[in-house]
Amino acid sequence: MAQVQEVWNKLNPRERLTAIGALIVALSWIVSLAGYGISAGTVSLLGAIAVLVVFYLKYSPNQSITWPAPIPTIVLGISAIVALLAALDVLTSLRYLGLLGFGIGIVALVLEAIGAALMVWGAWQEYQLTPKTTGTTSSAPGQAPSAPLAPPPYAPPSEAPSAPPAPTQPPAQTMSPDENDRPPV
């Protein structure tokens, strides 16, 4: 439990918002067990757990993982999928609203929607703050990220460019004696 508290203290405010959203999605799944047919989706629960695991692995002191993409991008992708699934759960359960009224299932759906919205909002804010460079690799929190791939150095041309040709004056229009005698057209 102390290690979880240690990881929680390392989260920045945007990551905490995302983690709170994930915890609300997990709570909505637990509440939905008593919802009698209207429930938060299990895939949404798995997505929320995946976000929490990513944060745990990111800040765990014993882990050094080479991530396939920047962590904010991974968290944003998972959160977006959870939000989409939560929206589908809410939309497909609207038909039961008239039959069951406001019961436990509706509370679970509202919690799922709120949790998913918090997950996406926090993940989006964190994603906006990540540098948009290519060629960087994510590293453990104590290490500096590796430098981005630099463009190749500029190489001057092998031979000096020649001076541009001097501008020339157009040749003067000379008129033949026959043209002077003709009337203008």
Q: Measure the CA–CA gap between 86 and 42, rounded to whole angstroms.
A: 10
* Tens of pLDDT, residues 80-111: 999 998 888 878 777 766 655 556 777 777 88
Q: Where are the domains of the chain?
A: 2-129
Residue pair 35/104 in contact (Cβ under 8 Å)? The answer is: yes
Decide: residue 172, CB within 10 A, 0-12 exposed, 13-18 middle, 19+ buried.
Answer: exposed
Q: What are phi and psi of 56, to 5 degrees?
A: -65, -45
* Tens of pLDDT, residues 3-62: 778 888 888 888 899 999 999 988 888 888 776 656 667 888 899 999 999 998 888 878
Q: Which two tokens stand for residue 174?
A: 């000379």
Q: Measure the CA–CA gap between 126 and 70, rounded to whole angstroms.
A: 11
CA nearest 127: which of 64, 87, 79, 61? 79
Single-letter residue type at 166: A
The DSSP output letter for 33 is T
The answer, as to whether pTM is greater than 0.75, is: no
Q: Measure the CA–CA gap between 59 and 63, rounded to whole angstroms.
A: 8
